[in-house]
Every structure is written in structure tokens, then in C-alpha cells.
Amino acid sequence: MDRMNQIRVLVVDDSAMYRAIVQDVLSDFEDVLVVGTAENGRKAIEAVAAYRPDMVVLDIDMPEMDGMAVLQVLQQQFGHVVPVMFSAHTFEGAQLTVEALQQGAFDFIPKPSTGTLWTNRMLLKNRLSSILEAVKRIKRIRFNIEKQPSPYSKPLPIRNSDTRSRVVGIGVSTGGPQALLQVIPKFPADLEVPVLIVQHMPAVFTTVLAQKLDNVSRIRVKEAEDAEPLLPATAYIAPGGKHLCVTPSSRSLSSREIRITDDPPENNCKPSADVLFRSLAEHFGAQATGVIMTGMGADGVEGLRRMKAEGATIIAQDEASCAVFGMPRKAIEADIVDIVAPIETLAAHILHTIR
């Protein structure tokens, strides 16, 4: 097989059974080659040096050298390797996983705790399928980076608008925890508007993400709750497995409150950025800012289109700073984006729409 189109994977887990299951699932993909397995972090580093994988699927809790230590070595010495973490679906597992994501892990795969072997195998295969597609795109981008400049590399002109936003909505997926860590802490303590965030994550993980961001931010960051009022200087993260939107307040005709729903997934996402953005278009019109950041797929584009039609300002993270330039690229191609900005200046552009 053409090396350029092949994904070389190393599987690292101290459980022989789980290594075998993951290796078996990966064998279903004809463009994937499992170059080796390892049962601890020390052997994982040796295998990475020997086999030069494109991707390492890595457990966090291991003997001799844990996954967090391995991640640090990969970041420092093997920058070409895409690290993907196994995660236990527990509060402790979520804490470690979110920390790994904020330190540079590309994505994570929840370890199943219930269900049949067949069901868990299919869930693992579906999760790996989307990650592998993203890794292929990363390889192609790296291969062509000097041959073909990105069509999105030039900044778009900033739209002049006298309308001040009264709310900020953010949609983000793969690479989101690390990206949010570079944006939310830059907001001032006296931020005059609320910020609503859809990060594609399961339940528990969004709780942990909110806590970690709250610890390093000047504004309050919390997991959103149904029927709570929208307050300035507060960021609300959609709970995993639920949708987040806004509705007229039951307390005041002139204010808005949060609504958490259990409606079906949209774009295979729950929470979905489209759900949030549509509600901002309906209830804030031109007085809103929609932000689309790193992530796979196209979630958020149709909602942003609705916001744009109402006169809202739309901001997209640029290709160079995205872990995956999927969601922002779709919005840019739809010609609904006013500003394309690197992650370093994203917060400043958002603030400019408020002040």
C-alpha cells in the first residue's frame, strides 16, 4: 500500500485483552497497519522510536510509565505522532483525559463499561473511523504543506459593524479543550456578556472541562443547567449528551434563559452547535457573535448561516492553529464568515464585537 495513504498505528495498554480487541478492530480498516503493541509507557516510547507510527492509541493508567508521561515525551521528541487517549468513563478518568487533551492529545476513545462485546466493538470501530479520517487529512496536509499553500491562509477582511453583541456562542470539537484553554482565560473579569459553548464530549467530561477552565479563567465557567438565567462574565458549557439553547425567560420578558433538551442528535452530535446557533439567531439576531473552532465534520454551519442572515458576526479559527480544520473550513466555504483568526488572537476578535 502507498505509504502516504496508510496509517501506521501503535496500540498501548496494560490490558492484553484490550490490546487484542483494538488491534482486531483496526484490522477491519484496509488502510491501517498496526505496527506494534506495548503494555507500558517505557516500551511504548521504545516502539515509537523503532516503528515510527503515525498514531499512538494510548492508555493513561499504566505501570512503569503512565500515559501522561508518554504524552509529554511524544510532544517533545516525536511531534509527528498523533496521540489518542483511552479513557475510563469515570469522573477520575474524565479528569485525566481532559488534562491530556489540554496538554496536546489529539482525541480520546472512551473505554466501554457496559454493553455486549459486539455493541462495544461497533462503538469502538465508529469512533476510530472518524479519528483515522482526521489523521489521514493531517498526513496529507503535512505532505503538501510546501507544495500547495492553503486557500484559507489569507485573512478575510473584517466586517465593519456598529452593532454590539450581547452574547457569544462557540462551537468546537476535536482539539477543543486545548483551544478553549487559549481563549476563555483571556476574557476579562468584567465581561459584559454571557458565553455559551458547545464542545463535543460525553457526559462527565463536560463537567470536568468546565471545572478546569473555571480554575484558570477570570470569568466564571460552569456546566449549563436548565432554566438558569444568562449572566454576564459567565461561560456555560453544554452538558455532554444534551443540547444547549436559549429561550425567553419565565422571569422577565426582556431577558433570556438556558434550556437543556434531550432532543435527538443533529449531525450525529449531542450536544450540537447547530442547535445553539439557531437559538442565538432567533433570540439575539444581529446582537450575537458566532464562533466556530477546531473540529471534524460540519456541525454548526447551518446554525451559523441562520445567525449570518440575521446580521450576526461570524468568526472562524484559522487552519494553521486548528487540530482539525473541518468545522471552520465548512463555514468559510459557505461564505458566511466575517473574520478568520489564529487561536492566539481569537479572544481579541471576539471582544472587539462586544465593545
**Residue 305 belongs to a domain:** yes
CA distance 185 to 181: 7
**Residue 206 belongs to a domain:** yes
CA distance 42 to 284: 53
Domain ranges, residue 18: 3-144
The answer to whether residues 177 and 246 belong to one domain is yes
Q: Which residues are catalytic?
A: 173, 200, 299
The answer to whether residues 232 and 123 belong to one domain is no
The answer to whether residues 336 and 213 belong to one domain is yes
What does the pLDDT profile of the chain (355 residues) look like in tens digits? Answer: 556 679 999 999 999 999 999 999 999 999 999 999 999 999 999 999 999 999 999 999 998 899 999 999 999 999 999 999 998 878 888 999 999 999 999 999 988 777 788 888 898 999 999 899 889 888 877 766 544 555 555 555 555 556 899 999 999 999 999 999 999 999 999 999 999 999 999 999 999 999 999 999 999 999 999 999 999 999 999 999 999 999 998 777 668 999 999 999 999 999 999 999 999 999 999 999 999 999 999 999 999 999 999 999 999 999 989 999 999 999 999 999 999 999 999 999 999 999 8
The answer to whether residues 325 and 219 belong to one domain is yes
The answer to whether residues 192 and 137 belong to one domain is no
Grid coordinates representing 130 are 472518524
- Which CATH number does the domain housing residue 215 bear? 3.40.50.180
**Residue 110 belongs to a domain:** yes
The answer to whether residues 190 and 77 belong to one domain is no
**Residue 159 belongs to a domain:** no
The answer to whether residues 103 and 209 belong to one domain is no
SS3 110: strand
Number of domains in the chain: 2
Domain boundary among 128, 144, 160: 144
The answer to whether residues 302 and 196 belong to one domain is yes
The answer to whether residues 140 and 182 belong to one domain is no
- Which CATH number does the domain housing residue 70 bear? 3.40.50.2300
Q: Look at the chain and count its residues.
A: 355
Grid coordinates representing 55 are 498514531
SS3 295: strand
